[in-house]
Amino acid sequence: MNIKRTLQHLVIVIYIAATASAFSYTLFRYKVPGVPDKLRRWSYGMMAPYQTYRTSNEMLTAHGLQSDGTWVPISLDEYLPFLRGERGMRSYLLTFWAQGEEVLEQKYKELAQVTKRLEGDRGREWEDVRLTLEKWPMSPAGYEYLRHDPFISVTKLHD
């Protein structure tokens, strides 16, 4: 009987510690010592499901380099055949974020190489393929309404 009560108290203490750790990380980005990362991430995800809400639109774009030196947009619809929200999440390569910027850049470079190969398989040969992330403000007028200069910014994702 005492063991059961002790285990219940231990579970409650662990839950409170995980919640406090997530709260601390959510508000201050402070990692409480002694709380395992896996437990903090689990609690953090449950505490604030809308933390990653964005106030801007973003889209992964690809461009192919022609032999004359011009860059031409490549449609990624064939390679990322998902709805816009899921496509956006997949294009962030979230599984590699925790491994650092160098790994993430390498994975985008690999994605560009795969895109180049797949384009070649479809008869569209490119000298090179580059991936960029376009970002522009949201607008009540529609998703792509402000997707132009001076509102848009473009970030190169790999060398």
36 and 18 in contact (C-beta within 8 Å)? no
* Pair of tokens at residue 42: 């689990």
Q: Residue 40 and residue 34: Cα distance in Å, rounded?
A: 10
pLDDT tens digits, one per residue of 113-154: 999 999 999 999 999 999 999 999 999 999 899 999 999 999
In the structure encoding, which two tokens stand for residue 82, read together?
């998902």
In this prediction, residues 53-67 reach a mean pLDDT of 90
Residue extents of the structural domains in the chain: 3-45, 56-156
For residue 155, pLDDT beyond 80: yes
Pick the residue with more confidence: 29 or 13?
Answer: 13
Query: From residue 112, how far is each of 57, 72, 74, 79, 92 by CA, in Å?
Result: 22, 14, 11, 11, 14
Check if the beta carbon of residue 65 is closer than 8 Å to that of residue 51. Answer: no
Please tell me which residue, 148 or 90, carries the higher pLDDT value.
148
What is the tens place of the pLDDT at every residue in 3-22? 888 899 999 988 888 888 88
- Compute the distance between CA of residue 41 and CA of residue 48 in angstroms, rounded to an integer: 11
Question: DSSP of 20-72, one letter per residue?
Answer: HHHHHHHHH-PPPTTS-HHHHHHHHHHH-TTTT--SEEEEEEEEEE-TTS-EE
Considering the entire predicted model, what is its pTM? Answer: 0.65
User: What's the residue count for the chain?
Assistant: 159
